[in-house]
Structure 1
């Protein structure tokens, strides 16, 4: 039994998905679909929490509407996964590493796991991302396109309604759940997604807010190479959206990674030096005082 909750604003996608679910979830499987009509009426966290309050079944699935299922009988498969002891979130894409610097769930190829057909809004092309190594792969962060969890576990966490808009909610929710339960990416439920996401300033700011809130104490291992790469990517994105100033440099240093070797420290110091050296050119695009 499954309650499927969808924050919806594109009726054509929603109608297509409902038809697809009816055809693929499995004969005799009990489910309900809760459409939260949300053309910027509320944050996705609010929509999802309200949808969960309306749900009547013990398993919840928070789902984007711009997808279709390719797997037949996926309802029972999902229920079986959720019934396993100590299971938190079941997803189709996620990561097993949490770096010190703000980032999405996509951290690095060796830690990213997914089984999804990724396409575009025009539905003109798609490609299969298949990097799972087992039927269930342990992860911390889970992508928001597909988030399944038992209702009794969801009630302990819920979505953080202090996060505005439509970004960062999945990272925040899945990382909080991972502190008590084990999240997984599974390889036996295949969906096709019609959007690659919008990695704009709002998305970036949401990831920074989640990192400030939750930190990076997940798992015991530290990968210096990944830490360096993610931090340099964070710096690049940060100064795409904010001017180079003393205040902003100090802000970025809050996320400086630990346990780097001397060469990596030196590379980051040189990067800061170049941002400061060319700050006048970088800051020309910002119409603000800094």
Structure 2
């Protein structure tokens, strides 16, 4: 039995996904849908309300621009959670390493092998590219532990969602909630990507200035916890990659008009990370100073 929670911005898409869920879920369910077409509330606030209202112990948070492809996928969700008692959060796409460098749920320009796991049919609402099956299962597993997952489809338990509520005070829009929730749940439970549920996601996402602002809030909040290294990668090597990724990130941000003060704040919060303790952070700061020294804008 599953409570499906949806923050809706399009009534036609909502109706379509309602019908799709009814045809494919295969278990008793309810849909808790919020009409948020005017964007009066952030997704975190509505997801928290949905979790509180849910009458079932198993929750699925999902976007409305989705078509579930797996028959009886609800039964599969229940089966996977029953077989993995420490599983707290499951998605269909995720990253095995969540970097200190601000990024989405996958690696931020780090030269690491793998680390990107997914099983979905990816559509392209904004670019117009042809949809394709994006299947990345480097470990050849049914369930892969990760650091964070994509928020287009997320399965969890009601007790976990209530104990690790979406941070509606920090995130008031529609971005970064999935990373924040993954990191919160991952403190006590496993976060994982399943390859036994397939869906079509019609949108590739929109990485706007608002998205960047929300990502920075999450990175500041979790600066003492990052990086999260579910892949068990060599952290000495990762330190070198992180330093280089920071240089690339700052160069891009300077090109976008970020100021010295704004970038310094990001650098300052990174000092809390375990891989940047002491002189390691100082060395990174020197690297970034060289980047800043090339900039014309030091406001």
TM value normalised by structure 2:
0.84
**Counterpart Cα distance in 1 of 2:52 and 2:244:** 41
What's the CA shift string for 1:199-242, capped at 9, x where partnerless? 11111111111111112153465223542453234314432444
**Correspondent of 1:159 among 166, 191, 204:** 166
Partner of 1:144: 151
Q: Does 1:253 align with 2:267?
A: yes
Q: What 5-or-longer segments of structure 1 have no aligned partner?
A: 260-264, 284-289
Partner of 1:105: 105
Partner of 1:287: none
- Cα RMSD of the aligned pairs, angstroms, is 2.6
**Counterpart Cα distance in 2 of 1:146 and 1:120:** 17
What's the CA shift string for 1:20-52, capped at 9, x where partnerless? 1111112xx100111111120100000111111
Q: How many equivalent residue pairs?
A: 276
In the TM superposition, residue 142 of structure 1 has moved relative to its aligned partner by: 1.0
Q: Structure 1 residues 249 and 69 mapped into 2: Cα distance closer, same or farther (>3 Å)? A: closer
**Counterpart Cα distance in 2 of 1:19 and 1:88:** 28
Q: Secondary structure at the match of 1:277?
A: coil
Q: Structure 1 residues 140 and 199 mapped into 2: Cα distance closer, same or farther (>3 Å)? A: same
1:226-265 map, 5 Å: 226-245=241-260, 247-254=261-268, 255=270, 258=275
Partner of 1:47: 46
TM value normalised by structure 1:
0.86
**Counterpart Cα distance in 2 of 1:57 and 1:267:** 48
Which deviates more, 118-127 or 32-41?
118-127
In the TM superposition, residue 68 of structure 1 has moved relative to its aligned partner by: 0.4
Q: Structure 1 residues 102 and 124 mapped into 2: Cα distance closer, same or farther (>3 Å)? A: closer
Q: Secondary structure at the match of 2:293?
A: helix
**Counterpart Cα distance in 1 of 2:244 and 2:20:** 40
Q: Does 1:18 align with 2:18?
A: yes
Q: Secondary structure at the match of 1:129?
A: strand
**Correspondent of 1:172 among 173, 176, 180:** 180
**Counterpart Cα distance in 2 of 1:127 and 1:157:** 34
Q: Secondary structure at the match of 2:119?
A: strand
Q: Does 1:273 align with 2:293?
A: no
**Counterpart Cα distance in 1 of 2:152 and 2:267:** 31
Q: Structure 1 residues 76 and 212 mapped into 2: Cα distance closer, same or farther (>3 Å)? A: same
Partner of 1:33: 31
**Counterpart Cα distance in 2 of 1:266 and 1:153:** 39
Partner of 2:279: none
**Counterpart Cα distance in 1 of 2:129 and 2:266:** 39
Q: Secondary structure at the match of 1:279?
A: coil
Q: Secondary structure at the match of 2:207?
A: coil
Q: What 5-or-longer segments of structure 2 have no aligned partner?
A: 277-281
**Counterpart Cα distance in 2 of 1:67 and 1:91:** 14
**Counterpart Cα distance in 1 of 2:67 and 2:240:** 36
In the TM superposition, residue 73 of structure 1 has moved relative to its aligned partner by: 1.2
**Counterpart Cα distance in 2 of 1:266 and 1:174:** 30
Q: Structure 1 residues 129 and 2 mapped into 2: Cα distance closer, same or farther (>3 Å)? A: same
